Structure 1
Amino acid sequence: MDHFLYQDGALCAEDVPVAEIAAQVGTPFYCYSTATLERHFRLFDEALDGTDHLVCYAMKAASNQAILKTLAALGAGMDVVSGGEYARAKAAGVPGERIVFSGVGKTHEEIHAALSGGIRQFNVESEPEMAVINEVALSLGMRAPITVRVNPNVDAKTHAKIATGKSENKFGIPISRAREVYAHAASLPGIEVVGIDVHIGSQLTQLEPFKLAYEKVAELTEALRADGHDIRRLDLGGGLGIPYERSNTAPPLPVEYGQMVKETLGHLGCEIEIEPGRLIAGNAGIMVSKVIYVKEGEDRQFMILDGAMNDLIRPAMYEAHHDIVPVQEPEPGAAPTTYDIVGPVCETGDTFAKGRAMPTVAPGDLVAFRSAGAYGAVMASEYNTRPLIPEVLVHGDQFAVIRPRPTFEEMINRDTIPEWL
């Protein structure tokens, strides 16, 4: 469920007409719903009622300060994967004890910053990384809390570019080596083992891959405890999918996921951490764009928008589907038109949809890309010297620009000309 609905023939973000935002902000832009962000976080939090748990929002999905503050106010932790994300979380007022640091390539500088500023744990991905964490912790006179990310070799049955739990993927250590690696961790004076980490991929639409991975984690927990390790925390990652196509069967609900977690891991008495990103932010955001031209091709019509692949790269990168709807509600029974929906960037890959049947549009009309709140603005670029598009947050009948569109002058002035030119 989201809060982008037609009211009196106009698409609204909560109680604000989207066309009203477009008139003031210009197009294209991203628009987020506070009510949807809050609802989706609470669904996860309530799904784990009865367990000691922390919901850590995966910031890589959408990391604007306003979004982070909205979630932090509800008690969310944060899952960060870079020094920049760590700095963003801290700037949003999230305390270090609610920040988990993931990622395969943590640098010496990032580890130092996180230990100095406070961190709940590092999710360690390799033995070389563990050695650096130990070294930095000792230099600060500290012990670094860690989990080890294990790779359970489970097929997440998702897109190959967002699968992370198979043996061929770069993430974690093979679960078959876990006892050996934990024994090594216990021998390092700057390391404090607190638990186990696992994350098998993103946009999962079935519970079975999670269940298979978590059953392996349960077995490993008992084996490591038998070896003398104090395993008290299980970080289960994120990955639960969202319905990008409204006509498709919906993925499992957070409450169903939470019940499965309790059934597979509840007997261990561990604190549970989960790291949802897409399911919290995805349906909480739309991208709004304007039709520039409708072009007649030899065997098709092209809908050419002012939004492009640099603004929303998911269709070009992942062949991802987004429902695209007119901002002005079509008349009931209106005949659809079939379009190839494209942007103005000089790439054939700048295509959002091919052969998409939808209500007829004309130049100047506004359309909205649904389910664009996750991996939209955060993956945008200035390719073709196109400005990063604004982000807008709606709260009831109010809205605010939470990231403005830069001017061409601001973009150009970031370049520095060498003295010899």
Structure 2
Amino acid sequence: MIIGILFCLLLLLALTFSIQKSRFFKIRSIPKSWIWMAFSLKLIAALTLTSIYTYYYQNRSQADIYKYYDDAVVLKKAHQDKSDLFWETFLPENMQSESFRHSLSQTLHWDLSTTYLINDNRTLIRLNYLLLYLSGEFYFFHLLFFCTLSFLGSIALFRFFNANSSLPSQLIFIVVFGVPSLLFWSSALLKESILLFTLGFFLLFAQKVFIKNQLKFLPLFIVFLFLSFTVKIYVFLALAIPLLLYLISQRLSIKKQKAAYSIIGISLIALFFSLKNKLLITLKEKLIDFKAIAEAANAGSQIYMPTYENLSELIQLIPLALYNVLIHPLIPPKWSLLSSVAAMEHLFLVGILVLPIIAFKKQTKQLPFFWFCISFVLILSCLIGLSTPVLGAIVRYKVPLIPFYLIALLTFVNLNKIPLLKKLK
């Protein structure tokens, strides 16, 4: 534990020095006190979530904030005095020895019942496994490390939005750091923390390389492109086409854009028809698997999403999928503390749709960025809604799209007509 506490102090010291000295944290119109407040909120959110899943929901083996850490501890203990097994933890399955596979038999979450594209459980277990050699099994160090990654990713996401949106910097900062569910679900020892870290830097380096033409950042873009395939890959699949179209709109002339869009459109149609069966099977299997898990666990927030057998049925269910993700959290099937808080937040998210109506502002130059944000929101909502029949899981899975939704919506709001928002100009 002592070594874990020491590394916690070193991590906090490094973060303090970076915030004070690094250009990454020097943001015009954003005081350093705001940045410290943002990190404090993330840490409080991480501790709150950990407390809830420690003292309220007490099934540790099924709690995501513990299960990857616990499996990593099991592996580390199984690998004591066997240094060769350490390296096998990071090798592909076909390169692992029988001795290593035996150590895996003691874990609960290394293997999934069904794997969709990539097993991102292993990403979290491997990362925690590495951190154990620094933490001395002091859990708070892992929590602080994940919280720091999420914080850095949020700063990167803010910088991306700030470089591409016409909204005031302070308003963008509040959007990125002030949404309760985004804070709550993306600050602890969860996949969402790694996702936010990867997503933020992936977008920031894409903007620097392809819009600003700063090729020195190309290696970092490639690194985060690779990392995007290691956790919640469906988020980056939902992002790929909107981002590609947005980058084209920023780099090419109108005439060249039309040609590029035509080529991409034809390519997407061909790709869709060649992969449609794979897409259908993947979404269907995930839905069936999720239903089985929810029924076995007697999940109280199961919602209606029928199984589909063909592409036509899937397309017909898209409106229901969008409803389940964008509207249904307002009326959870079973009320609890978490569902009540989520419903109140969702009431706000739906309610502010009135702002562009009562205070509309024409923003022609911002249309490409608006379509980028809203396309990502809709595509990701479809993927989540078509594969997730549990409202509690939907509330958590949808947190990456919330800042994009708010940025898109607020783009067309005349802030001068909204007294509260006018102060942020």
Query: What TM-score, normalized to structure 2?
Result: 0.24
Considering fraction of residues, name the structure with more helix: 2
Pick 1 or 2: higher relative contact order, CA cutoff 8 A, min separation 6.
Answer: 1
Considering fraction of residues, name the structure with more strand: 1
